[in-house]
Every structure is written in C-alpha cells, then in structure tokens.
Amino acid sequence: MRCKPVLIGCIAERLAHLLLEKAEDLDVELQDLQIQPALVYLVVQAPPTVAPHSIACGLKAYSSSVLRREFKELTTIPTLWTRDYLVVAGEDIAADDLLRAFHSRLAPRRPPGRPRCCQP
C-alpha cells in the first residue's frame, strides 16, 4: 500500500470482501487477513501449482480497480498498491515477525518536502 492511511472504515470492509471474492476465483484460501490503514497482511493457502506472484498480482489488480471505481477519493493517489510484497512459505510464522522483516527490506523513504540545496 502507498504510505497513505486510506484503508479505514467502509473502504477496509469493502477491501476484505473483494479479497475474499478474488481468492475464490484464484482457488486459494485466505487463512488470515489483517487490514491496517496503510498495509494489508494476508496468509494464503494455495496449491503448489499456483505461483505466489500470480496470487499477489491478481489480488492487487482486482481490488485496486474496484476500489478506485467505487471510492473516488482513492483516485487522487497515483496508484493504490506498490509492487512490494513478501512471500514466506511455512507454518507457525508470527505476523509481527513477517511485518518486521518486510519493513526492514524496504528502501528508506525520503523526508517529505523539497530537498535542501547545498548547505553553506
């Protein structure tokens, strides 16, 4: 998700329904879904023949197009989702550990505002 906390209220509820719909279409099962204001955490059970990339891209593309069509305030953001996602295979992996690992791999964000010129 872009770093704008827009996944709140009815947008978050609609996103949950959209993700469940698309998961059925992809023949995967959502075992855990946490929607935070600027981040979505999913645990997906899928057969080994389905690539994780196709799951992530399918969920992002479907949810983005429907949400931006239904909620016009989301069209002010250039794109709803980033290309970033983290895939981990296994069981008994804590969500907090995964989120920490994901955030540690992201490039640091530049501070808001215009860049400063040369310092005297």
- Kindly list the domain boundaries of the chain, sorted by start residue: 10-105
> Binning pLDDT at 50, 70 and 90, where does residue 19 land?
very high
Q: In what helix (H) or strand (E) does residue 114 lie, and over which residues does it extend?
A: none
Contact 99, 85 (CB under 8 A): no
> What is the average per-residue pLDDT within 3-31?
92
In tens, the pLDDT along 20-50 reads 999 999 999 998 899 988 888 888 999 989 9
pLDDT at 10 over 50: yes
CATH of domain 10-105: 3.30.70.1290
Work out the pLDDT band at 53, boundaries 50, 70, 90. Answer: very high
Q: Is the pLDDT of residue 11 over 60?
A: yes
pLDDT interval class at 56 (50, 70, 90)? very high
> What b/e sequence results for 30-65 when a residue is b if at least 16 CB atoms lie within 10 Å of its CB, and e otherwise?
beeeebeeeebebebebeeeeeeeebbebbbebbbe
